[in-house]
Structures are given as structure tokens and as C-alpha cells.
Amino acid sequence: MSGTRDPRPDRRSFLVSSGAIAASGVLPASARTPAAPEPPEPASSSPAHQGADGITPATIREAEKLAAVRYTAAEREQVADSAGESVERLRRRRGFPLPNELAPAQVFDPGPPPATASSDRAPTPPPTRRPLPSDDEDIAYAPLTDLAAWIHRRELTSRRLTEIYLERLDRFGPRLECVVTRTDDLARRQARVADEEIGAGRWRGPLHGVPWGAKDLLDTDGIRTTWGAAPYRDRIARTDAAVVRKLADAGAVLAAKLTLGAIAYGDIWFDGKTRNPFDLEKGSSGSSAGSAAATAAGLVGFAIGTETLGSIVSPCMRCGTTGLRPTFSRVSRTGAMALCWSLDKIGPICRTTHDCALVLAAINGGDAGDPSSRTVPLPFDPGRAVRGLRVGYNPSWFEGEAAGEHDRRALDAARAAGLRLVEVDLPDWPYDTLMTILLVEAAAAFEELTLDGRDDELVWQAPEAWPNTFRATRFIPAIEYVQAERFRRRVAEMMAERFDDVHAIISPSYAASLLLITNCTGHPSLTLRTGFADDGTPRATTINGRLFDDGTLCSIGMAIERELGVWDRRPKL
């Protein structure tokens, strides 16, 4: 498909040999606007003077506006004459298939893991003092730590818990529009095996027997994986993604494939719009829309989401779940849809921070299928004292409309937990330059949709949606992509300096470009519920951690979560 030529002339793109044509959609207006009106094109740029494919100096002149450059008339003639070679090179390359799972040769490295990393010992749930509730709804909303303890003590069977969640998926899944494919038969088989193993004394760990939901961009053998997009709605994988395989090895029970905004953007998918359990009139945000909604509504014990730029953070903010975006490269993405090879991350969406740590321990580690991935131990002690740990913040982030009362309460909770708040600042840099990397990688990953016109099949067709974004991104100069990567390195160096002095940085989730910055530098983040709005919908705050120090990040999150005591309020479905 990558080699299919687009029959519609208005969708053809071309590259000129010396500087490419094309433009960034994130350039400020001043950069896109010529400094002064251009003089008329000289007579030599008439249609008679043209290069291959009808490219004339006038073509180049118009393309300059996209690339924010200015050439002379003589330079335009030279570029037009030499453009044919570049155009033909593009056509030859498009004849060579590049499947979605094929990563670029250049691999992003967020930095070395800490030298003090301890052995990779999987955390176990503490003995819960809570008795097993008699009410199924109370069981459904219990944190993973309780579910694991009840199953381990054989007070609760996996089969009973699985039937509770399957029944809730029946009742509430259609209302929330959060399920793409049910996996009832598989779930019942896995639950039966779990009970048999636990009964025989072979307990695999805290996820054993607990039903979960997979964001529907994780491949499942023989079960369709649609990427939330109409062009792929009948796609069936023949292997399990690495994360799916690891969770099966941990004894977890796959109950459903959950919705995502088409091609991992937003909450609109090919058959609906995923709803917020706390307000069914609103979407759940995206793109891990179904994972957050199903977890918040007690339809699964936990779920897996992915993030490129906010796809775990945003739906957790909207639905009140706890989302852990691990350090880039900590979790293998083999068998997961690629949107941006140097940005995509896979992480848990749960009801509590401790739950997230348990799930991350199960999916932690790299494999050969993902060249960016690595296996780094995950030190985590749920009883760790956090008093005295340094947490960075900036007072201006928590003032005015940029923050809510819940964010300020989170700061107070950090102080009450004994964390030492330290002021940090970020330089005033053009961080939106980093968007170039995301846009270019995403447009490359789904080039086939743009070139063969199948992008028209996507439900969401707004100017900001993927179809138009992919088309516009083809006009970003290759030079600008390289410069954005160089800028990315400088930003990573700056963040390393900030984290030299603090263990974490707390902020309103969208403050100070931190969402974009930390996604591009690979730092882990934890988004947890910190309060509620007047309309009863949840609100959240985000904490960013040091590279590969996800365990400390979870310890800090647990301390703040305990002080606030708001994680367990349920939606009224």
C-alpha cells in the first residue's frame, strides 16, 4: 500500500533538491508571513521554463511560503530544473513497502538508568484488612491490591470476579461506548486456569486471576485489533503483543479490547465516542479513552493505555483514574500500533498508584522486537518513607486560571506528607518546536492512508484531526525535523539539570509545556485524582519523575494520594 500512487493531483507531494518545500503547522504567524510583498516573477518563469512534472519557478515561489524561506528568481529556476530527480526518488521509495511495525534506524535514547538500580523484584500486595464485600459492585470497584489479596487467600475466585466484570461490561459498556471487542470466552478460560493454579498453590503474583482491558492497539492472537479506525476495523493479528503476553504470563485475565480515538488521537472511534463515566454527556478524552472509562466505571480491574502526547494523562484527568506513563523504553512496544517510534509509551491505568506499580512490574522489560526497549529493574517499596524527598514546583504554575483548587490541595498534601517542595524554573524556549517530531513520525507511520485516500474513511475529519494533519505535515522540511531533534537534545540536557536537584516535579497537568517536554525527553509521569469540580467530575494533577526512577515516583504519588483521600469516589452510572 505504501507504493500506491494517489490518483488525486491535489494530494501529491514533492521535494526539491536543495531545501525541500514544506512547512511546519506550528510556526508562529510572524515566521510564516513574508516580510514584504514579493516582486512580480520575471518572464523567464513562464510555463515554458519548467522542470520535470511541470514544476516551474512559480511553483517554487509558492512553496517558499510554506517553508518560510525566500529565494531569488535565478535560484528558483535552478531548483525547478533539479526537482525531477527528487520527485523520482520519492516515487521509487514509495514502491518499497514499510509496515507500521518497522522502526527507523535511529533510536531515541532517553539516557542511562541509575547505577543504583536494585534487582528486579516484583512487588507483592500487602495483606488487606478489608474483608471481602458481599456486594458485587463493591468488589468491582476495589483496588487491585485488595483483589489480589482476596484471590490469593481464595476468598474470591477469578471466575466469580470475571463474571462480575463481564456482567458490568454488558450493562455499562454500550452506554460508555468504551468496548470494541469482547473476549468473554478467552476470559473464562483464563479465569478457570487461574483458579486451578491458585488452588494448587501456584500463585503467579498480584495480577493472577484479575480481569483487565487492553487498549485496542495491542495485538491479540486471532482477535481483531482495530486501532480504533475504520480502515482497520477488520484487522486480525496473528500474535500477541509483548505486553499482552507478559500479562498472560502473570495470570491476568483479558476481558475486553477497549476503545481508543482513531489512530490514537481523541475519543472518537469508528463506531462511537467514548463517554466519561462521571458525565455521560462528555467524552472521556483520549486516546486511551476506553481504558480510562472502563477502569473508572469498575468494568475491569485495571487497563493498559499508551501515550505519545497526553493519551494516558488526558483521559485520566477526565475520568479520575490513575495513569502511569513509564520512562520511555522501559516497556516493550512489540505488537503495539506505532504512531511515533521515538515517543510512544505503554503504561497502566488503574484506580490507585499502588495498583499502577503492580501492573508496571508485570509488563516491565524490553525485547528484540522493539529496538528502543531495554530491561531495567523497577525498584519499588510500597512502604517506603518519602519524608525529605525533594519535589520541584513553580509557584506561578499554581496561580490564576492555569491551575485549579485541586492542584493547590495537591501541593498542600505533598507538604503534609513530609515532601520538601523546591522551586524550579524552566527557560522560555520555543518548546512547540518539539511538535515537529511528533507530526513527522505520525505522518510517516500512516503515509499509506494519505497516499491512497483511505484517510477519508476516518470518522473525525475536522481541521485538527489526523487526515488534514497528515496531509499538511508532508510539507514540513526535512531540515526542520533534524533541527527539532537537535533542539530535543538540548531540552533533554536542560531537564537532566533540573532533576539533578529534585526527585520529582509536580504541576497542573498541562502547565509550562511539561506534558510536551517530558514526553519528548522520556521522563515518567503519574497523573492522579486530586479533587472534584463543582459539577462532580474529577480533577487530577501530574507528577513527573526522574528517568527510570518510576518506583520513587509511585512512592511520592502514594503519599499524596493518602493525604487527599479522594481516589475511591465512584461515578453514578
Shared domain for 372 and 474, answered yes or no, is: no
Shared domain for 419 and 440, answered yes or no, is: no
573 occurs within a structural domain: no
CATH number of the domain bearing residue 356: 3.90.1300.10
123 occurs within a structural domain: no
Q: Report, as residue numbers or ranges, the catalytic residues.
A: 215, 287, 311
Q: What is the span of the domain harbouring residue 46?
A: 9-97+431-484
Buried (b) or exposed (e) across 498-511, using 16+ Cβ within 10 A?
A: bbeebbbbbbbbbb
Q: What are phi and psi of 63, to 5 degrees?
A: -65, -30
Q: Is 331 helix (H, G, I), strand (E, B) or coil?
A: strand
Cell numbers for 67, please give them: 517553508
Q: Is 245 helix (H, G, I), strand (E, B) or coil?
A: helix
Prediction pTM value: 0.88
| Tens-binned pLDDT, residue by residue, of the chain (573 aa) | 433 333 333 332 222 222 332 222 233 333 333 444 555 555 444 445 555 678 899 999 998 898 898 989 998 998 888 888 888 888 888 889 899 999 999 999 999 887 654 545 555 655 677 999 999 999 999 999 999 999 999 999 999 999 999 999 999 999 999 999 999 999 999 999 999 999 999 999 999 999 999 999 999 999 999 999 999 999 999 999 999 999 999 999 999 999 999 999 999 999 999 999 999 999 999 999 999 999 999 999 999 999 999 999 999 999 999 999 999 999 999 999 999 999 999 999 999 999 999 999 999 999 999 999 999 999 999 999 999 999 999 999 999 887 999 999 999 999 999 999 999 999 999 999 999 999 999 999 999 999 999 999 999 999 999 999 999 999 999 999 999 999 999 999 999 999 999 999 999 999 999 999 999 999 999 999 999 999 999 999 999 999 999 999 999 999 999 999 999 999 998
Shared domain for 197 and 64, answered yes or no, is: no
329 occurs within a structural domain: yes
pLDDT, tens digit, for every residue of 268-315?
A: 999 999 999 999 999 999 999 999 999 999 999 999 999 999 999 999
Are 186 and 222 in contact by the 8 Å Cβ rule? The answer is no
- The radius of gyration of the chain from alpha carbons, rounded to an integer in Å, stands at 25
155 occurs within a structural domain: yes
Cα(353)–Cα(562) distance, integer angstroms: 10
Shared domain for 335 and 437, answered yes or no, is: no
Q: Which run of H or E residues covers position 64?
A: helix 57-67
73 occurs within a structural domain: yes
Are 363 and 246 in contact by the 8 Å Cβ rule? The answer is yes
40 occurs within a structural domain: yes
Shared domain for 517 and 417, answered yes or no, is: yes
Residues 6+ apart with CB under 8 A from 122: 205, 206, 361, 362
Cell numbers for 568, please give them: 475511591
Using left for φ > 0, alpha for ψ between -120 and 50, and beta otherwise, residue 227 falls in left
pLDDT, tens digit, for every residue of 104-126?
A: 999 999 998 876 545 455 556 55
The domain boundary, picked from 484, 510, 526, lies at 484
Shared domain for 534 and 464, answered yes or no, is: no
105 occurs within a structural domain: no
Shared domain for 450 and 520, answered yes or no, is: no
Shared domain for 142 and 31, answered yes or no, is: no
Triad 462, 466, 470: Cα angle to 5°? 120
Residue with cell 527528487: 86
Q: Are strands 279-283 and 275-276 parallel, antiparallel or unpaired?
A: antiparallel
pLDDT, tens digit, for every residue of 413-469?
A: 999 999 999 999 999 999 999 999 999 999 999 999 999 999 999 999 999 999 999
Cα(142)–Cα(573) distance, integer angstroms: 17
107 occurs within a structural domain: no
Residue 138, Cβ density class (10 Å: 0-12 exposed, 13-18 middle, ≥19 buried): middle
Torsion of CA 130, 537, 508, 294, to 10 degrees: 60
Encoded amino acid at 388, one letter: G
Are 317 and 285 in contact by the 8 Å Cβ rule? The answer is yes
Cα(421)–Cα(427) distance, integer angstroms: 20
How many separate domains does the chain show?
2
Are 168 and 176 in contact by the 8 Å Cβ rule? The answer is no
Shared domain for 221 and 287, answered yes or no, is: yes
Residue 248: other Cβ atoms inside 10 A: 16
Query: Among candidates 318, 271, 330, 309, which has minimal Cα distance to 291?
Result: 318
Shared domain for 438 and 412, answered yes or no, is: no
Shared domain for 517 and 389, answered yes or no, is: yes
Shared domain for 334 and 468, answered yes or no, is: no
Residues 6+ apart with CB under 8 A from 9: none
Torsion of CA 397, 401, 402, 404, to 10 degrees: 80
Cα(441)–Cα(448) distance, integer angstroms: 13
Residue 115, Cβ density class (10 Å: 0-12 exposed, 13-18 middle, ≥19 buried): exposed
Cα(306)–Cα(325) distance, integer angstroms: 8
Cell numbers for 132, please give them: 471481602
